[in-house]
Structure formats: structure tokens, C-alpha cells
Amino acid sequence: MKYHFYNANILSEGKILHGDVVVEDEKIIYVGKDIAVKADREIDVKGNVLMAGFVNAHVHTPMTLLRGVADDMELYSWLYDNIFPAEQKLTPEDVYWGEMLGIAEQVRAGITAFDENYFHFDAIIDAVKKSGIRCRLGLPGNFNSKSAKEMNEFLDLYISKLDNKLIKPAIYAHSIYTLTEEELSILVDYSAKHKLPVCMHLAETLKEVGDCTVKNECTPPEYLEKLGFLDRPSTLYHCVHLDKDDIKILADYNANVVTCPSSNLKLGSGIAPIYSMKEHGLNICIGTDGTASNNSLDMFKEMFLVATLNKATLYDASIISANEVLDMATKNGALALGFEGCGDIIEGNYADLILIDLNKPHHQPLNNIISNLVYSAKSSDVYFTMVNGKILYEDGKFNIGEDIEKIYENCQKITKRIL
């Protein structure tokens, strides 16, 4: 299948270029000035934006089922008293529908790839494969009383089920407060043996940092360093409470950090030191976290926050630019998640792209498109989402393998049962 997009404002390598993009099968084969080309479908972009889809670098997608449950309480009560008990009631089928709902929400909002951390892996794999979205799946999260041998077999089994193109594996250790040192070591060993990246929630709250300091006599990054966790390519979620030395450690190991500002604000966790991370050269990505702590999967909301929160805490509006934030929301995430050939509109890349409608009051007059994308745009401006050359959303219609009304209906039934 060949698509010819013309009359587009293309966001490519941090600049806006007016012209055409041609997609053939899975790939972008042309980016440039107007071109005459024979295509199966001609798409007049009408001066709107064509850009790479967003990479949501941290999400627990099936938590859509718990949207609006347990608001306005801090992370530990939220997690242990509300979220974990509700999650224990979820069946694999429930998770399948929650995943589908979250995929619908994400493609509607221009997200073309995400880093998934949840459970009931067969259900997640089914939904992701059926939908056609790009995903890195973190395994296993927690041990649930498995022995080292059982865990190795478990990981072997699930990793064999992934196709390694649209859906890739990572070794996911939930956090230093839910896993023992022995369990963490088993996962590090597995990741080293199988050349897989590792990922984890890190330094999300002051309590986590305080508890770690008491128990391990070091900060969370120092603890990970000691365990050899940082010797692996790593993606660390949240990283709200890092001091200068912590940031230096993460930079020394080329760790990827994922900031989730909405979730950190809503749970009262704090504001991550993005500017300092940036100045230390860390690869900063952006995630939404799950919808029980956000409560939506919207990278535009996150981009605005990443662009502005550190301005307010450091009283300096010049420390971070719209362009830097767009990179964090696209190519930085693709780099962290191991999706080579994603995250930008350049020839040879995979066709993970979105169209953004500018013909709306909040984009007018069109003085500065890049500024608008970060400071004015809304996820509802996305009207076309393509992943790997396949259209997953266009003008209100979803093409993700399940009917949208059926997804709503099933999710409503599930929450009526479990809440």
C-alpha cells in the first residue's frame, strides 16, 4: 500500500518543512518538496501538521479500567489500599478490554508506541497484536512467589511469544520497594544473559527515597548501581527525587529517564528536576503513567507540563524550549524503548505518523507551529494516526481490531463488577 501525503507542514528533524511525504508498506520512502508520485491513496493534508507519532514511554494501559478510582490520595494509600485490591479481581479477559480501551485512547491522541507495564501478559499481547500498535512489553513486574528457575522459564515462555518488531520485550522490575535484592539480581542476570534492557519505577516519592536510605544506606540510584542494574541499558520511570549526585550516576550509565508529570502532580509525589537532567545529558522521555493516576493518556498535556514545570520551580522561563520537549515526546522515547527507525519523519524510518488539525481557534493565527504543538495543541487535534504504515485512527473511526462501542460496553461491565 502506498500513501502520498501532500500540502503538509512536516515536522522533521526539529524543523517545519512544507511539502510531501510518501509511505510505502511499512516505511517512509520520501520526505521533501512537492512530488508527482503514483499512490494507492492521495491525502491532502491542507497545510496541517504531519509529524511522528508520540512515544508514551511509561504507561499501565489496562488501568483505564480504574480511571477516576481513588483520586486525591498519596501514592502508597492509593496503591496498597485501592489499586492493588481492585487489580486482584481482574481476569485476563478484563485486562484485554482495558488494554483495548487504552489503545483506543492512545491512537486517538496520536500515540503510536508505548512502554507497557502490567500483568496478564497473554491478554496484553493479544490486544496489542490485534490492534497493530507498537509496544515494548515489560516482564515480569513482580515475582508472585516464583523461584529463580520458575521465573527464568516464565520469561523464556513470554519472550518467545513476542514478534520483536511491533512488540519487543524488556525486563521490568516494578520497584526497589516491591522486589527483594535477590529477585532484582535474578532479573538483572536474565537481562544480561538475553541481552535485554531493564526498566523500573525509581525515586518516585520522598518515602521511597527515605525508606531506601534507611534500609540500604544509599539513594535509589546508588542502590541500583550496586546491584549492577545500571550496567544494563535501562529505562527509569518518574525519577522525581534525585539529587545532583544521583543524576550524575544515571548519566554515567547512559540511563534513560521517563518523566510523568501529571501523575507526579496528582499523587502529590513532586516535580522532577528535568532541567538538571537535561544539563547532565540524560536522555529524557515522557510518559503518561496509567489513567488511575493521571487520568488520561494525553502526551500534549504531558508536553505542556514538561515544558513549563521547571520554569516555575526555577523561576526561569528560558531553561527549556518547545523543540526539546517535542524530541522528548517522540525520538527520545523511541531511542529508549529500542524502536530504531521511529520517532521522526525521515526517509527510511517506519511510518509511525500523525496528522494534526490546525484549522481551529486555539491554533490561530498560525504564528509559530512548533510553539503551538507544545503550548496550544490538544490531543483532539489529531485526526489521523498511522503505525507501521497501517491507519489505526482516522476522523473518528478506529481500526484497532475491536469495535469501539463494544470496548466501552465491556469495560463498563468490568468496572461495575470489580468496584
| Residues of span 334-393 touching a copy of itself by CB under 8 A | 359-368, 371-372, 375-376, 378-381
What span, in angstroms and rounded, lies between the C-alpha atoms of 205 and 267? 9
Does residue 291 bind a copy of itself (CB under 8 A)? yes
Does residue 201 bind a copy of itself (CB under 8 A)? no
Is 1 or 312 the residue whose CB approaches a copy of itself more closely?
A: 312
Tell which one of 129, 161, 301, 390 touches a copy of itself (CB under 8 A): 301
Tell which one of 318, 348, 395, 397 touches a copy of itself (CB under 8 A): 318
Single out the segment in contact with a copy of itself by CB under 8 A; choices: 5-13, 128-136, 278-286, 296-304. 296-304
Tell which one of 5, 6, 304, 339 touches a copy of itself (CB under 8 A): 304
Tell which one of 185, 213, 216, 321 touches a copy of itself (CB under 8 A): 321
Tell which one of 87, 94, 99, 105 touches a copy of itself (CB under 8 A): 105
Q: Per the structure block, which three cell numbers stand in for 400?
A: 484497532
Q: How far is the CB of 46 from a copy of itself (least distance, A)?
A: 13
Q: Per the structure block, which three cell numbers stand in for 174?
A: 516494578
Q: Report the side by side order of strands in the sheet with 134-141.
A: 54-59, 111-116, 134-141, 167-173, 198-202, 234-238, 256-259, 283-286
Does residue 218 bind a copy of itself (CB under 8 A)? no
Single out the segment in contact with a copy of itself by CB under 8 A; choices: 50-58, 112-120, 163-171, 409-417. 409-417
Q: How far is the CB of 259 from a copy of itself (least distance, A)?
A: 13
- Dihedral over Cα of 259, 260, 261, 265: its sign: negative
Q: How far is the CB of 33 from a copy of itself (least distance, A)?
A: 23
Centre a 10 Å sphere on the Cβ of residue 365 and count the other Cβ atoms it contains.
5
Tell which one of 65, 90, 187, 199 touches a copy of itself (CB under 8 A): 65
Please compute Rg for the chain using Cα positions: 21
Does residue 268 bind a copy of itself (CB under 8 A)? yes
Site string for a copy of itself, 140-179 (x = CB under 8 A): ----------------------------------------
Give the angle subtended at the CA of 92 by the CAs of 89 and 97, to the nearest 5°: 95
Q: How far is the CB of 96 from a copy of itself (least distance, A)?
A: 14
β pairing state of 54-59 and 27-32: unpaired
Site string for a copy of itself, 246-265 (x = CB under 8 A): ----------------x-xx
Block residue for cell numbers 538483572? 188
Does residue 314 bind a copy of itself (CB under 8 A)? yes
Residue type, 15: K
Block residue for cell numbers 538538571? 276
For the chain, the first-to-last Cα distance in angstroms comes to 45
Question: How many helices and strands (H and E) does the chain possess?
Answer: 16, 17
Residues linked to residue 173 through DSSP beta bridges, in sequence order: 141
Q: How far is the CB of 396 from a copy of itself (least distance, A)?
A: 10
Asked if residue 343 lies in contact with residue 283, where contact means CB atoms within 8 angstroms, the answer is no
Q: How far is the CB of 212 from a copy of itself (least distance, A)?
A: 17
Inter-CA distances, 46 with 34, 51, 163, 308, 365, Å: 13, 14, 37, 30, 16
